[in-house]
Structure 1
Amino acid sequence: MEVHDIRLSVFGTPAAAASARRRLVAAIRDWGLPAGSEPLHVAELMAGELLSNAVQHAGPGAVTVTARCDGNAIRVEVSDSSRDLPRTRSPSQDDEHGRGLSIVAALADRYGTEPTTSGKRCWAEVGLQAVSSPEVALPVPLPRRRP
């Protein structure tokens, strides 16, 4: 498989982040990955979580999302202007936020954050080999639905 990449710059709003995630996944599908493939679903979830974190914590400035596939893995990167590096949290069962990095950590084969000259970059990679288990154990509790 040849190397593919896409880079999108969006304004840091929830609607723009959702649109960027959809465009990113459509581009990855165009690279020849089957629509129902596990790595495609994982890349979509990772992109959604990283974009959501950027919008929520970095404010309304520009956010850049990049995806790259080298034939072995899909790497998703999200860059924003905040210099504050994210950290995993331990939310309670009733908290509605705070699980993004834990979800990325559970799904990704590799992930990380790094400062840049203009802010930070958060990234995650998933290999193109079959994912070993359809169930992922998250290290933090999910919120309970309220009646």
Structure 2
Amino acid sequence: MEAHELSISVSGTPLAAAETRRQIAAEIRSWNTGFDADTLHSAELVAGELIANAVQHASDGPVSVAARLSGTALRIEVCDSSSKLPSPSLPDTADESGRGLFIVAALADHCGVEPTPSGKRCWAEITVSRESSGSHAPDACPAPRAHLPLQRR
């Protein structure tokens, strides 16, 4: 399998985060690897959530995003300058935010966060699925693949 990789710097605005999410999704599609629609959609959502969190919580520091296909694993990494590691907690039903890491955990096969000398790296890996000629239930809801420890607010 051919190796694919990309890296993009993100300016710290919500508009830039949204544009970067679209740019990453377009680049992954352009790799022409035969990913199925669910894999492409999951990759776009995961990238979007990780980028949005970095932009929201990293103040004005630099944010970068990378995507790499290695074998059957698509890894998405977002680095920012904040040394504060995320602590997933259950949001109240009225909260307008706080669900991003749950979305990432539900869509990714593996995810995590690690400190770096300049801040932190949040990452997620998705095992890629290829398009097939077999039947597919498009209305089926994917089961969560990973779990993060929860804390009640």
Q: TM-score band (shorter)? A: 0.7 to 0.9
TM-score by length of 1: 0.86
SS of equivalent to 1:23: helix
Matched positions, count: 138
CA distance in 1, matches of 2:4, 2:142: 28
Gaps of 5+ in 2: 131-135, 148-153
Give deviations 1:8-66, integer Å, cap 9, x for gaps: 01111101111111111111011114586211110100000000100111112211000
- Identity over aligned residues, as a percent? 54
Q: 1:33/1:41 Cα in 2 relative to 1: closer, same or farther (>3 Å)?
A: farther
Question: Which residue pairs with 1:71 in the alignment?
Answer: 71
Runs of 4+ in 1 over 6 A off after TM superposition: none
CA distance in 2, matches of 1:19, 1:37: 20
Q: Which moved more, 1:62-71 or 1:33-42?
A: 33-42
Q: In the TM superposition, what are the counterparts of 1:112-131 in structure 2 within 5 Å?
A: 112-129=112-129
TM-score by length of 2: 0.83
Q: Is the 8 A contact 2:49 2:104 kept in 1?
A: yes
Q: Is the 8 A contact 1:112 1:124 kept in 2?
A: yes
CA distance in 2, matches of 1:97, 1:127: 27
Q: Is the 8 A contact 1:87 1:101 kept in 2?
A: no
Q: Does 1:44 find its partner at 2:50?
A: no
CA distance in 2, matches of 1:84, 1:102: 18
Q: 1:73/1:137 Cα in 2 relative to 1: closer, same or farther (>3 Å)?
A: closer
CA distance in 1, matches of 2:44, 2:108: 11
Q: Is the 8 A contact 1:33 1:40 kept in 2?
A: no
Q: Is the 8 A contact 2:78 2:121 kept in 1?
A: yes
Q: Is the 8 A contact 1:12 1:61 kept in 2?
A: yes
SS of equivalent to 1:45: helix
CA distance in 2, matches of 1:105, 1:89: 13
Give deviations 1:105-137, integer Å, cap 9, x for gaps: 11100000000000000000111136x994146
